[in-house]
C-alpha cells in the first residue's frame, strides 16, 4: 500500500520537475512513507474506522503547486480602501440580497437558534465563498499530506487531516470527495477541519454534518461558531469616524482600548462632524496607518485658523469586531464584514 502511494506521489513530482528547479525535485519516498505510517497509527488510535483509514491512504498525491502557494504567499497588503472596493462591491451586495430572498426561513431559523442576524451570516458567506460560488480546487487529503511532507507546519496539518478523517467517519462521507482550498479550508464558510469538528452542527435534520453540500449545515455551523465566540446581536461591529490631522497614530492599532467618552475627548467625530456617542462602552480604534493622508496640522495657524480639519478616516472597533478576528485575524477582514453586513440589512 505505502509503496504504491509513494510512487503516485513521486510521479506527481516528476511531472512538475520537467520545468522545475533541481532543489524542488528531490522527493524523499522514505519521509512520505513514514508520514503515511504515522497517520495510520494515529488514526487507528483515535478509533477511526479501517475503511476510512484505507480510503485516506489509498492514493494520496503530492501536489507541488500547493507547496509553492504555501511558500509564496504574497506579503503585499492592499490599502484598506482597495480591500473594501474589492470585497464590499455592489455585485456582492446585490447577490447577498438575492440570497436573503432565497433563504428567508433558514436565515430566520439561524437567527432564532443562535442569535446571529441574517445580514451577519450573509456577510460571512459572501466574504468566504461569494455565496458558494467559489469552487474548491484540491482534494483535502492531497493538500494535507503535501503540507505535512513540506514540513513547515507538519503538526498543524497532521491534526487537520486526522480531524477530517474523523469527520468523514462520523458523517459517512467519502473522504476522497472532500475538496477545499490548498490550505485546507472547505465549504460555504471555509472551515478548517478542527473548526468544523468543534462547531459543526446538523442544520437540515439528516443526522449528518456536511458543510460543503448542505447550505443548512453550513449556515447552522457558522451561526453556532459565532454564537460560541460570544456574538452580541444588539451591538454594532464598528463605527466609522474621522480624526484630527494631528491625532496620535500610535493609538490606531486596534489594541488600545478606551471608553467612548475618552475617545470623544480626543476629538473623534462622526463623518458628518457631529459628536460620537459618549459612555462607558469600550472600543479600540483602527485606521490604515500605512496610507494616511498628509496631516494639515503643520500648517495650522492658531491666529487665522479655527482648528485642524479632521482628515483621517478610522473605525471605532467594538467587541463584535474582536470576535470576527477570532474567525480571521485581520483588521481589514473584520471591517469588510462590518461594512458588508451593514449594506445587507
pTM of the model: 0.87
300 located within any domain = yes
Q: Which residues contact 226 (CB under 8 A, 6 or more apart)?
A: 114, 116, 120, 124, 323, 327
Placement of cell 472547505 in the chain: 186
pLDDT at 265 over 80: yes
User: CA 148 to CA 157: how far, in whole Å?
Assistant: 6
304 located within any domain = yes
Tell me which residue range forms the domain holding 256: 238-317
Q: What is the pLDDT of residues 59-72, one digit of tens each?
A: 999 999 999 888 87
pLDDT at 6: 57
252 located within any domain = yes
DSSP label of 277: P
Number of Cβ atoms within 10 Å of the Cβ of 246: 16
Quote the cell numbers at residue 151.
514540513
- For the chain, the distance separating the N- and C-terminal CA atoms, rounded to the nearest angstrom, is 54
β-sheet bridge partners, residue 253: 286
pLDDT at 246: 85
pLDDT at 303 over 80: no
305 located within any domain = yes
130: pLDDT confidence band, cut at 50, 70 and 90? very high
Q: Check the CA dihedral 166-172-177-182 and report its sign.
A: negative
pLDDT at 278 over 80: yes
Contact criterion met (CB below 8 Å) for 283 and 253: no
pLDDT at 325 over 50: yes
270 located within any domain = yes
Reduced to 3 states (helix: H, G, I; strand: E, B; else coil), residue 258 is strand
pLDDT at 178 over 70: yes
Quote the cell numbers at residue 82.
482597495
162: pLDDT confidence band, cut at 50, 70 and 90? very high
pLDDT at 122: 98
pLDDT at 300: 46
The stretch 184-194 carries a mean pLDDT of 96
- Under the phi-then-psi rule, with left for phi > 0, alpha for psi from -120 to 50, and beta for the rest, what region is 155? alpha
User: CA 70 to CA 191: how far, in whole Å?
Assistant: 18
Q: What is the pLDDT of residues 47-93, one digit of tens each?
A: 999 999 999 999 999 999 999 888 876 556 789 999 999 999 999 99
User: CA 296 to CA 59: how far, in whole Å?
Assistant: 63
Contact criterion met (CB below 8 Å) for 186 and 211: yes
85 located within any domain = no
Phi, psi of 162 (to 5 degrees): -65, -40
Quote the cell numbers at residue 325.
478576528
**Dihedral (Cα; 35, 57, 157, 29), 10-degree rounding:** 30
4 located within any domain = no
The stretch 269-295 carries a mean pLDDT of 89
Angle ∠(237,132,90) on CA atoms, nearest 5? 55
Q: How many domains does the chain contain in total?
A: 1
Amino acid at each position: 500500500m505505502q509503496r504504491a502511494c509513494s510512487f503516485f506521489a513521486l510521479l506527481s513530482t516528476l511531472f512538475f520537475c520537467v520545468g522545475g528547479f533541481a532543489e524542488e525535485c528531490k522527493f524523499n519516498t522514505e519521509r512520505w512513507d513514514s508520514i503515511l505510517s504515522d497517520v495510520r497509527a494515529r488514526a487507528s488510535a483515535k478509533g477511526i474506522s479501517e475503511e476510512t483509514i484505507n480510503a485516506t491512504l489509498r492514493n494520496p498525491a503530492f501536489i507541488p503547486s500547493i507547496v509553492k502557494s504555501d511558500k509564496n504567499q504574497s506579503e503585499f497588503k492592499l490599502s484598506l480602501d482597495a480591500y473594501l472596493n474589492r470585497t464590499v462591491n455592489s455585485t456582492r451586495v446585490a447577490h447577498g440580497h438575492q440570497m436573503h430572498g432565497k433563504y428567508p426561513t433558514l436565515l430566520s431559523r439561524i437567527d432564532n437558534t443562535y442569535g446571529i442576524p441574517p445580514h451577519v451570516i450573509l456577510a460571512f458567506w459572501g466574504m468566504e465563498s461569494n455565496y458558494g460560488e467559489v469552487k474548491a480546487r484540491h482534494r483535502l487529503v492531497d493538500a494535507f499530506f503535501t503540507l505535512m511532507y513540506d514540513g513547515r507546519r507538519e503538526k498543524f496539518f497532521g491534526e487537520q487531516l486526522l480531524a477530517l478523517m474523523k469527520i468523514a467517519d462520523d458523517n459517512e462521507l467519502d473522504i476522497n470527495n472532500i475538496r477545499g482550498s490548498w490550505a485546507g479550508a472547505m465549504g460555504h464558510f471555509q472551515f478548517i477541519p478542527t473548526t468544523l469538528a468543534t462547531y459543526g452542527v446538523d442544520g437540515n435534520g439528516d443526522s449528518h454534518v456536511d458543510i460543503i453540500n448542505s447550505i443548512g449545515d453550513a449556515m447552522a455551523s457558522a451561526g453556532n461558531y459565532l454564537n460560541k465566540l460570544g456574538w452580541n446581536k444588539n451591538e454594532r461591529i464598528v463605527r466609522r469616524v474621522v480624526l484630527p490631522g494631528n491625532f496620535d497614530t500610535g493609538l490606531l492599532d486596534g489594541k488600545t482600548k478606551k471608553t467612548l467618552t475618552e475617545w470623544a475627548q480626543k476629538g473623534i467625530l462622526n463623518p458628518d462632524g457631529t459628536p460620537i456617542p459618549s459612555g462607558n462602552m469600550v472600543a479600540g480604534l483602527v485606521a490604515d496607518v500605512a496610507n494616511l493622508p498628509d496631516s494639515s496640522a503643520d500648517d495650522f495657524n492658531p491666529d487665522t485658523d479655527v482648528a485642524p480639519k479632521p482628515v483621517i478616516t478610522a473605525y471605532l472597533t467594538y467587541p463584535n469586531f474582536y470576535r470576527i478576528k477570532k474567525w480571521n485575524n485581520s483588521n481589514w477582514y473584520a471591517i469588510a464584514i462590518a461594512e458588508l453586513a451593514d449594506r445587507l440589512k
